[in-house]
Structure 1
């Protein structure tokens, strides 16, 4: 079993334990904060930041305690992040829907629920907790699931970050005409990082699509490499949560005159 398969197995088990009637989620959706669409700003900015609230990862283990995820998210917003990514997967990443609720209550910019979306229920759940964007990992979904889940997210007025790792996955992703595509340089089956994925895959994404570089970005030269290969946004977690001053860390990654808001 690959790392990705193992994570998804745990996600399904945890989902089964917390699943509620859809009618209850509908009530919560009716009361949820209005959707904040990140697309226009992400398309306009020369380089946007999706800043991540992440306590741990399968590859690195514990990263940061993050006792107050909302406070960290506020620092990201103050530093110019365009989107806050909140990990809600519990077993490998130490996240929760409580983290999503806390962040939603304190920031005014869009929030990405970063989890392994493998069941329709999770999309209604994401909207009920105030998410504006969800993650669709092509490697984790069949062709029909990818298409159906993308349509479901759009139907709930959320955007989807469609994540790819290979040329084959890129072809499948582009078939659904996504508006935001992420190239993850970390192979989720082996956890190895190969930045050449940015050079190979980012140029294949149409110019009218937000092009996100994910994983393996911890210093300015890596940001420049991603941007030189076509990235219009970067998703950064580890480098920020481990920093003593996350706002300063973000500015060092981008250069003080390159902050996007």
Structure 2
């Protein structure tokens, strides 16, 4: 079987964690976390807004991706904190920050810059497989982590979720298909992200959210991820009872991502207004 992009990413993550442990131990990270400010309630923010049937947007700060390369316009300064502030000013509920360097052009430092600039809860978007990365996320200033079921066995995911909860972090569980959704139901987090991107073909289809959402057990908040391009997509999701979304590329391809968010939300409100 040929190596997939996920295989390459996870091999790189294992090398990163090994190197990071050489700089500071997990016990050292946890000691640093004990003096960290309280987390900002990522899950409560989403649940509160979605429960009012308002669109709760997790707006993503993302320079690029493996499939598209650089997304943010060339020639425009990439300032993660300023982009996050723009999102906050145009109606975002939470922020997602890519910290993976080699494949998504992210950096750990971006997360701290964003947290220092705005008051919204921040998700560390990365490929978490080791409790060390959970402690690292808390140390960096994250309020939540992402657990991608495509790269985790159930016992591993449970361990990571428990480590997150112990540190006051919320967890967004991500699934792509029925098998991953069944596995996700073994976890406790109320946040269940459905990624509309096919990991084999790298195409997106909102029907993935609609198909899987019907199978999500009661008590979970569905977050639709990837492939949400315009106000029409928000309206389609809203009409199916899905009020939480994670959007990155549609905003980040614009020179002013915050304004792009504002236009999308305004377009969706015009239908309802």
* Shared fold, TM over 0.5: yes
Say which SS state the counterpart of residue 101 (structure 2) adopts.
coil
Q: TM-score, normalised by structure 2?
A: 0.89
1:249 and 2:251 correspond: no
Where do 1:52-71 residues align within 5 Å?
52-64=60-72, 67-71=78-82
Larger CA deviation: 247-256 vs 173-182: 247-256
Q: Does 1:145 align with 2:153?
A: no
- In structure 1, how many angstroms separate the alpha carbons of the residues matched to 2:40 and 2:63? 25
Distance in 1 (alpha carbons) for counterparts of 2:236 and 2:175: 18
Deviation at 1:207, TM superposition (A): 4.7
Unaligned residue ranges in structure 2 (runs of 5+) = none
Distance 2:15 2:175 in 1: 25
One of 203, 219, 222 as aligned partner of 1:192: 203
Structure 1 alignment gaps of length 5 or more: none
The structure that has the greater radius of gyration is: 2
What residue is the counterpart of 2:238 in the other structure? 227
TM-fit CA distance, 1:224: 1.8
How many Å apart are 1:258 and its aligned residue?
4.4
Structure 1 residues 24, 258: CA separation in 2 closer, same or farther (over 3 Å shift)?
A: farther
Q: Which moved more, 1:121-130 or 1:18-27?
A: 18-27
The corresponding residue for 2:131 is 120
Decide whether the 8 Å contact of 1:77 with 1:107 is kept in 2. Answer: yes
Q: What RMSD in Å do the two structures reach over aligned CA positions? A: 1.8
Deviation readout 1:157-201 (Å, 9 max, x if unpaired): 111000000011111111223210000001234322222101101
Q: 2:40 aligns with which of 32, 36, 43?
A: 36
The number of equivalent residue pairs is: 259
Worse-matched range after superposition: 230-239 or 240-249 = 240-249
Q: Does 2:109 correspond to 1:107?
A: no
TM norm structure 1: 0.93
Please give the residue correspondences for 1:73-222 in structure 2 after superposition, counting only pairs within 5 Å: 73-222=84-233
For the residue of structure 1 that corresponds to 2:95, the secondary structure is strand
**Aligned residue in 2 for 1:25:** 29
Query: What SS does the aligned partner of 1:255 have?
Result: helix
